[in-house]
């Protein structure tokens, strides 16, 4: 049975869920956060060591300002309310993405959360924030050129935001669209990808467990036969 070290999730469908059920996209984001907390708990129960979440992409800045502000306020409240609890649960938080363009307050909270939980070992939750895979790869290549080292697989990997993190075994995208949206394009070269029709707020522990069960039975060849 395949071990699982790392699960990555594109939590898509909040907006559509919110509009359909509460007449408000932002309500969908709130419900998305509730769904996320359940999935974090289940990730711990499954003894998975890394969970990477696509929270805000470099392309999400195109959204209306009001929605962007709502999302960042939600993230701020989440950090303020939950960081102590996450720390107690031995969870490490790490931001992957460009730590630019956030408010001073959010930047402060993100840095504080990272510092506080730095040594935690049970689960590492990577928040992909202002994240874009193409940008990440360009930065990696620029660092390599600057360091005057060889451009090879090992060095590219070592200069990504995700250095020191094993590549995802599983990538899940909810929301019914089958695309990758500039998420971890290098890292998912050999990940098993699961596209789910459910919108993210409806995705629950059972859906997650079903995917884990399916994954465990897949024959992973990594190019071999």
Catalytic residues: 12, 60
Task: State yes or no: residue 39 binds ligand FPP (CB under 6 A).
Answer: no
Task: State yes or no: residue 4 binds ligand FPP (CB under 6 A).
Answer: no
What three-state secondary structure class fits 148?
coil
Residue number, 5 or 60, with CB nearest to ligand FPP: 60
Displacement of CA 5 from its chain's centroid (Å): 14
Q: At what angle do helices 25-45 and 14-22 cross, to 10 degrees?
A: 120
| Candidate residues 6, 7, 15, 123; the one interacting with ligand FPP per rule CB under 6 A | 15
x/- string (CB under 6 A) for ligand FPP, residues 18-37?
Answer: -----------x--xx--x-
What three-state secondary structure class fits 51?
strand
Please report which helix (H) or strand (E) contains residue 194, including its range: strand 192-195
Task: State yes or no: residue 132 binds ligand FPP (CB under 6 A).
Answer: no
Task: Return d(Cα 157, Cα 144) in angstroms, integer.
Answer: 10
Q: How far is the CB of 194 from ligand FPP (least distance, A)?
A: 17
Task: State yes or no: residue 175 binds ligand FPP (CB under 6 A).
Answer: yes
Task: State yes or no: residue 184 binds ligand FPP (CB under 6 A).
Answer: no
Residue 188's contacts (CB-CB under 8 Å, 6 or more residues apart) are 8, 167, 168, 171, 180
Residue number, 157 or 202, with CB nearest to ligand FPP: 202
| Candidate residues 42, 48, 52, 78; the one interacting with ligand FPP per rule CB under 6 A | 78
Residue 197's contacts (CB-CB under 8 Å, 6 or more residues apart) are 176
Residue number, 120 or 155, with CB nearest to ligand FPP: 120
Helices (H), 10-50: 14-22, 25-45
What three-state secondary structure class fits 48?
coil
Task: State yes or no: residue 97 binds ligand FPP (CB under 6 A).
Answer: no
- Footprint of ligand FPP on 195-214 (CB under 6 A): 200
**What residues line the site for ligand FPP (CB under 6 A)?**
11-16, 29, 32-33, 36, 55, 60, 71, 74-75, 78, 175, 200
């Amino acid at each position: 049975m395949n071990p699982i070290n790392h699960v990555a999730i594109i939590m898509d469908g909040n907006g559509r869920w919110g509009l359909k059920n509460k007449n408000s996209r932002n309500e969908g984001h709130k419900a998305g956060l509730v769904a996320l907390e359940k999935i974090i708990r289940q990730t711990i129960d499954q003894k998975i060591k890394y969970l990477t979440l696509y929270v805000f992409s470099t392309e999400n800045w195109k959204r209306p300002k009001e929605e962007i502000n709502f999302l960042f306020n939600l993230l701020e409240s989440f950090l303020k309310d939950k960081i102590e609890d996450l720390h107690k649960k031995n969870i490490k938080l790490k931001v992957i993405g460009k730590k630019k363009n956030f408010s001073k307050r959010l930047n402060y909270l993100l840095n504080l959360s990272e510092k506080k939980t730095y040594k935690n070992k049970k689960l590492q939750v990577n928040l992909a924030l202002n994240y874009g895979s193409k940008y990440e790869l360009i930065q990696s290549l620029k660092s390599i050129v600057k360091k005057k080292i060889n451009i090879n697989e090992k060095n590219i990997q070592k200069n990504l935001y995700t250095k020191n993190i094993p590549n995802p075994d599983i990538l899940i995208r909810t929301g019914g669209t089958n695309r990758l949206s500039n998420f971890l394009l290098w890292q998912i070269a050999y990940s098993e990808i699961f596209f789910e029709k459910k919108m993210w707020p409806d995705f629950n522990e059972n859906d997650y467990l079903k995917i884990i069960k399916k994954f465990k039975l897949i024959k992973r060849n990594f190019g071999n036969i």
